[in-house]
């Protein structure tokens, strides 16, 4: 029983799912050259997160289909500052596809990070756009303040 994990610049690797999810995720990190400290998970090609990291003692074949093609995800918990005190903060995790061709696919990112109960949406592209706009505003302000004084007559 195996699955294909896609990542990077359209690379893929085969993994045996007849093991505990903890071992599976460790091997995926190792063979896909991810940092040991990174938190990872998998999704199908439609953006459905498999949540293996929440079921580490279960077996991979209970969550994954044989010969399934999966996308490697990095889990960003920067919004969940107090994770140890409140495990429900895992719901605020942002999933980032590690397959380069999907980084700009807003539909896939939206499927990975659906709207929460307050109606807000975690969008990587929206955050990037906001950051660029704020930088442009700062540049415009700097230009206004750096104008030379008008010539004296």
- Across the range 52-66, mean pLDDT stands at 94
Percent of the chain as helix, strand, coil, to the nearest 5: 35, 20, 40
- Tens-digit pLDDT profile for residues 129-142: 444 445 455 545 55
Residue 114's pLDDT is 85
- Tens-digit pLDDT profile for residues 82-119: 555 555 555 678 999 999 999 889 999 999 998 754 44
Give residue for tokens 């999810």.
21
Output the average pLDDT for the chain.
80
Domain borders along the chain are: 2-143
> 90 with 78: CB under 8 angstroms?
no
Instruction: Using a pLDDT cut of 70, give the percent of the chain over it.
Output: 66
> 49 with 25: CB under 8 angstroms?
no
Give CATH for domain 2-143: 3.10.20.90
> Which of 19-33, 72-86, 98-112 is predicted with the least confidence, judged by mean pLDDT?
72-86
What is the rounded distance in angstroms from the CA atom of residue 152 to the CA atom of residue 14? 74
pTM: 0.70
Residue 4 has pLDDT above 60, yes or no: yes
């Amino acid at each position: 029983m195996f699955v294909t994990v896609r990542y990077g610049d359209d690379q893929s690797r085969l993994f045996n799912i007849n093991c505990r999810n903890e071992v599976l995720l460790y091997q995926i990190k190792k063979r896909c050259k991810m940092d040991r400290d990174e938190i990872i998970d998998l999704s199908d090609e439609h953006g459905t997160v498999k949540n293996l990291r929440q079921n580490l003692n279960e077996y991979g074949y209970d969550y994954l289909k044989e010969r399934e093609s999966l996308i490697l995800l990095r889990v960003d918990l920067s919004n969940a500052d107090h994770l140890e005190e409140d495990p429900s903060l895992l719901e605020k995790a942002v999933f980032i596809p590690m397959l380069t061709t999907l980084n700009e696919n807003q539909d896939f990112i939206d499927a990975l990070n659906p709207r929460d109960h307050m109606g807000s949406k975690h969008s990587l592209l929206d955050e990037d756009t906001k950051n660029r706009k704020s930088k442009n505003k700062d540049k415009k302000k700097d230009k206004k303040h750096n104008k030379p004084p008008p010539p004296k007559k």
